[in-house]
Amino acid sequence: MKTILRFLFLLIFVTGSVQAYAQGNVYIRTNTCGAFWELSGNEVAMDAVFGAGNWQQQHFETTDPATLFSASNEFIFIEGSNCGTEEMLEFLDANRPAMEAWVKNGGKLLVNAAPSEGPYALTIGFDDVQLMWAEDGSYGFYGEKANASHSIFRGPLKTVANDWTGSAFSHHKVLGTGLTNIIKDLESDEVYLAEKQWGAGTVIIGGLTLTFFQGHYEDWAPAEDVANVHKNLLTYLGTNDLQFAPAGTISYCHGSELTVPFNAIGFYKPGTTFALQLSDATGSFAAPVTLTTFTDANVAEIKATVPASIPAGAGYKLRVVVGDYGLVSAAADMVINALPTFTFSKTDVSCVGGSNGTITINSIAGYLCALNGGAYSTKNVFNGLTAGTYTLQVKAATGCESVAQTVTIGTTPDTILPTIVAPAAVTLSGTTGACGAVTVALGTPVVNDNCEIGSVKNNAPATFPAGTTTVTWTVTDKAGNKATATQQVTVTGVSSALAVSVSGGAGANTIVLGYESQSVSLTAAAGAGNYVWSGAAGLSKTAGATTVFTPTAAGVYTIQVTATTAQGCPVAGAVTITVVDARCGNKNDKVLVCHNGQEICIAASAVKAHLAHGCSVGPCGAKAAIASASNQKKAQVLQAEDNSLVAYPNPFGESTRISFTLKEAGDYRLELFDAKGVLVNTLAAGEGMAGATHAYQLSGSKLVKGIYIARFVTAGEVKTIKIVLDK
């Protein structure tokens, strides 16, 4: 009603007459017959909407068209129902250009006719708009919303139903282009009420029996809803108002989207701007803040965001302003709430794969907490968490939610090594028909870790060879920390040693160049075939059980031999031959002898006599010089002991097997040195019986190509052997 009052004050001020106001809203019909169907429903509705005396009734036969279609009138209701159809058509035909021009300049027009007379089709105008009888010539008994969002269904009266009945709810259907359908037939697509914007104004055309809408007539139902549709239709065209009354005080959270209900009553010119304004913290609109503007008069909600610069407070107000119409809505109270903030602490998971992480949101009275978008609760400590990223939020008593914070639960570095105790040593007999022992039950090591064990592995071979094999157990925890322990597996009853006998030379596995035999015969025993000799130049052959070694230069030569047993098992042996160059004289036809620490050069025929009283052949400093007969025997024993340290194959690629035999019962140690004499690893250590043979499988996977020295150490002796890795 604000628009009505605005025009009343304006017209009283200009003309001094309230009657001028009455021309603002006009209901026009014929005066040639009485009330349509003897009913005055339209007059009742006009009084209900505008108030008695605040609108003017005119007639086609007596009105002044120039005054009617002038700027003094905002809304005109042309009715041609029942007995007034022909008069309406005559009036429209005579005044159509003036009527269309008036609407185009902003006028709002309702043309309705439910004829009981007249032609089949009624030409209204506005390009091609017509009212026409239903296809079967019958009346429309039922109606329903064709556009539920149209303003006539949104207020000001809210009870309007979705569909309606009447013995003749509508006589005519609406045809034309550019129409927005409002009401249609419930049982077909026939349109009974439609709107068309025309320039700055609008026209609504209908074939409804509107005069029946304002009374409790038996067939027009629901009665109240039908009456409200009628009144809302007149309100839409004849008034402009703003319904803005959110329930209670609006509670707004900074940073969120503000949504408030809204209804613009009446038709507004296209492009009309609506503004949602915010007061200051005291509720004053002296310098309002415009939160948003929009031009759609049909919106049911206004959405906006309050600038972050506006401080929180409880004294704010909201309103809607339509400057073009001078409309200002009622103001709604509003509280602007600051978003809650919070701090937190965390505890990382102590072990890889663990679930003992904790997040604590530091408690604030009245706040609820949520983890990962879950439900809010009073719980502020979240435990049993695994490593990962989590989202935290709190909600204040105002209902405002904080900005989400992320926290990452990590894993505390685990640097503590696991522990491992290898199973007890195992001694067993070789498997029948095999080259050692297979399917050996090693037992289970005892392992422990402060967190969690990742794996336990060993390097046990598929077949354990004769002798003692060292098995290395490795435990790894989930953090990658490792620890090792070793276990000895001894296989008895199977020998991998290949004995080598020496004959010829100067005795004691020695050849003295220039004296006696210049070669030795080597014979391997305990093999069944596939003999291969290697290790020195001067071998008469490299295959077969025997070969002859004829050196050409002094030195210490290690000659190796491999073979296979009748069961197909590999065996290996080796022998060391010492070559001493004792040739002297101008023609190298004499023999050098060490006599009482002095070197003398004598004929070969005199050597034996010197040997008989303790002299030796060769230089006095020669380690392998031939001594007396008793010394020869000792040398032979030492040579036999040397044969007990063997590596096969040698040179090797992937791995070589080092076997050794104990001379006496006691502790032993097998070590590996590189070519520079640096200890690489202790391969085996333990205690054994006299005559026991042990073996160690040396892998070349972690060694670099080159020469290595294997050293066998006991309480009474030290033995070495050169090993060549050739990848």
Residue range 648-727, CATH number: 2.60.40.2550
For domain 241-337, give the CATH number.
2.60.40.10
pLDDT of residue 64: 96
Rounded CA-CA distance 107/589 in Å is 147
What pLDDT, in 10s, does the model give residues 384-405? 999 999 999 999 999 999 999 9
Cα separation, 27 vs 444, whole angstroms: 106
Using one digit for the tens of pLDDT, what is the confidence trace for 572-597?
A: 888 889 888 888 888 888 888 888 88
Rounded mean pLDDT of 113-128? 93
> Mind listing the pLDDT tens digit for each residue in 62-108?
999 999 999 999 999 999 999 999 999 999 999 999 999 999 999 99
Q: For residue 289, is pLDDT > 80?
A: yes
CATH fold, domain 419-492, is Immunoglobulin-like (2.60.40)
- Mean pLDDT, residues 466-483 taken together: 90
Does the structure show a pLDDT above 60 at 194? yes
What does the pLDDT read at residue 218?
81
What's the mean pLDDT in 467-475? 92
CB 672 within 8 A of CB 709: yes
What is the residue-averaged pLDDT of the chain? 87
Check if CATH label 3.40.50.880 holds for domain 2-238.
Answer: yes
- pLDDT at residue 640 is higher than 70: no
- 509 three-class SS: coil
Q: Specify the DSSP class assigned to residue 288.
A: -
337-381 per-position pLDDT tens digit = 999 999 999 999 998 888 999 999 998 888 999 999 999 999 999
**Cα end-to-end distance, the chain, whole Å:** 104
Would you tell me the crossing angle of helices 223-238 and 41-50 to the nearest 10 degrees?
60
Q: What is the mean pLDDT of residues 710-717?
A: 84
pLDDT band for position 2 (50/70/90)? very low
Class (C level, CATH) for 344-409: mainly beta
Q: Work out the average pLDDT over 99-124.
A: 94
Name residues whose C-beta falls within 8 Å of residue 376's C-beta, 6 or more positions apart in sequence: 368, 369, 370, 393, 395
Q: Quick one: pLDDT at residue 691?
A: 75
Domain 496-643 = CATH 3.30.390.10: no
Q: How confident is the model at residue 431 (pLDDT cuts 50, 70, 90)?
A: confident
pLDDT at residue 140 is higher than 90: no
Give the bridge partners for 667, in sequence order: 687
Lowest-confidence range among 446-455, 524-533, 693-702? Answer: 524-533
Prediction pTM value:
0.53
> What per-residue confidence (pLDDT) applies to 616?
83
When pLDDT is cut at 50, 70 and 90, the band that residue 623 belongs to is very low
Segments making up each domain of the chain, as ranges: 2-238, 241-337, 344-409, 419-492, 496-643, 648-727
pLDDT > 90 fraction of the chain, expressed in percent and rounded:
54
- pLDDT confidence of residue 528: 66
Say if residues 318 and 331 touch (Cβ distance below 8 Å). yes
- pLDDT in the model for residue 459: 94
b/e sequence 65-75, b meaning 16+ C-beta within 10 Å: eeebbeebbbb
Task: Give pLDDT, residue 143.
Answer: 94
H/E stretch holding 530 reads strand 529-534
Please determine whether the domains at 2-238 and 648-727 fall in the same fold group of CATH: no
Tell me which H or E stretch contains 578: strand 570-581
pLDDT band at residue 138 using 50, 70 and 90 as cut-offs: low
